[in-house]
Amino acid sequence: MTGAEMIVQVLADEGVEIIFGYSGGAILPTYDAVFRFNDEHRNGASKDPLPLLVPANEQGAGFMAAGYARASGRVGVVLVTSGPGATNTVTPVRDCMADSVPIVVLCGQVPTAMIGSDAFQEAPVSAVMGPVAKHVFLVTDPFKLEATIRTAFEIARTGRPGPVVVDLPKDIQNWIGDFQGGGLLPAPGYRQRVEAVSSNRLAASDCKAFFALLGESQRPLIYAGGGVINANAAAALRRFAQQYRIPVTTTLMGIGAVDTTDPLAMQMLGMHGAAFANYAVEDCDFLIAVGSRFDDRVAAIPDRFAPRARRVAHFDIDPAEIGKVRKADWHHVGVLDRDLDALTAWGQRHHPPQDFSTWHAELAELKRRHAYGYDRDSALIQPYYVIEEINRHTQGEAIISTGVGQHQMWAAQYFDFRHPRLWLTSGSMGTMGFGLPAAIGAQIANPDRLVIDVDGDASLRMNLGEMETVTTYGLPIKVLVLNNFGDGMVKQWQKLFYKGRLSGSDKSLRRKDFVKAAQADGFGYAARLDRKADVPRMVKEFLEFRGPAFLEVIIDPDAGVYPMIGPGMAYDQMITGDYIPSRGSRPEPGAPSGTSMF
């Protein structure tokens, strides 16, 4: 086989279902090998066994692979050329690293003899990608090519998942040798670390110590993060929470770890979390962190986070997260679903469920008194109302992808999610332009499920070219744009903390006609919604349209995201806005600290 043929055969052996990528000179041998593989293995008129989905831009390919991986739990694959093809994937690679998403990026490179000569479309991929990827390989020995591709998949999916980049010089792709059909690169240190985690099972003494802490508690609270989703541990977490009737709040990345409609669900906590969730964190006496890392969006002031929690327990797969931000009184590093089930089983034998009914009643009252709220009498279309109306149809069963900004937070707050892997968003990196390509990847992974991209006018612009990708491949994605004519989250901060100086964020004079753009890209349904009375009818039309659909909604430009924990503030200083009751004095926004971020 040629090296390119070996690459393609390994992809097939790894069970790859689709490749997201854009071709170019340095990767042409592998693209040609994909074509020939499909031609040889296609049965009659059936679809290609290893289909290629071509985006408008390599960044789109990276986010499509990420959406595919997030929605399916499988490794997404990106195939791009050298130079700009590779560097256009830097942002998706970093995004996947930040949110622990497994993808493999295969990028072409100039021939090995030309590396370092500033050849046409050469980029120092190892140097560029090294700081932002889980691992980077540069293949210079063709005899190691086959094992390198397999090892890339192993590293991407094992341990704490993440992106792996393989740089493939053109001469390596053209090399001819014997295909071995097996084998991995030696990586003893990595495999030892993975094995140490996977073999670290909960001992009876560990379970006894955990339940001793739970036995002392009257107000326990589970704080679940994206690690629950990545570990496919949502079912195990739900069993544990139900067995002991422990309420659960989730991070932005942990949404879907528990059914948001379940009475035990306290929804999202943190900077823009539910007021009742944040008050629950304030009141709990035992905080159980599961697959979460006490990041700055949740615990901006670690010493004042969960101030009444006398004890903290922490489950994670990454030992580096234990004690990094908040000291844990009890911790375990291991395989999350297995360990939660082991804990539940031990408790069933040795620790009868406690009576937390008083705590449950307190939380129910918090939910009632401090629920999300907005101006329902406004003549302007409120974004919350639009999402509530969509949610009335989807009932927590749709895949929701988002860009980044106010619309992202409104979607997190007002949609229900009955299952994991229905919520796709760029959490740690906060990458605008994520929503549409991620929805494409999610729809490929789940062809029979409704997929909705909830986007903002500014965020959609970032990868607007992928609108055509949706229609080219006939994907029935629903694209919703909440248009407030600018960078809404930036404007909100400028209004709160910069005396309303809208520096660079007001796009009210921009001339983009999104509906015409959608029509030009082939959307059979493309409409603008600008009358509140039309919301129920047009939402129904939009969701029921068979095929790609686009709906632009002109929303109240002053609609804000509340609650909000401002820069340098703790949970007891939460700003709840005009329509969510606060249980304390309403803090006045001050100047942001020098270390503050969105």
Please identify every residue annotated as catalytic. Answer: 58, 120-121, 170, 489
Strand ranges across the sheet with 248-250: 265-268, 248-250, 220-224, 286-290, 311-316, 330-333
Q: For residue 555, what are its two tokens? A: 């929303």
Query: Is 437 within 8 Å of 68 (Cβ atoms)?
Result: no
* HEC per residue, 75-106: CEEEEECCCHHHHCCHHHHHHHHHHCCCEEEE
**To 10 degrees, what angle do helices 336-350 and 204-215 make?**
70
Strand 164-169 relative to strand 311-316, pairing: unpaired
Q: Percentages helix, strand, coil for the chain, rounded to the nearest 5?
A: 40, 15, 45
**Pair type for strands 52-53 and 103-109:** unpaired
Whole-number Å distance between alpha carbons of 330 and 88: 43
- CA dihedral (282, 286, 290, 293) in degrees, to 10, reads 50
Other beta carbons less than 10 A from residue 500's beta carbon: 9
Lookup result for tokens 């948001």: 260
Contact call for residues 80 and 107 (beta carbons, < 8 A): yes
Structure tokens at 220: 């326990």
Check: CB of residue 163 under 8 Å from CB of residue 102.
Answer: yes
CA distance 76 to 79: 10
Amino acid code (one letter) for 29: P
Give, in order, the Cα–Cα distances in Å from 423 to each of 138, 259, 272, 434, 530. Answer: 34, 12, 16, 13, 27
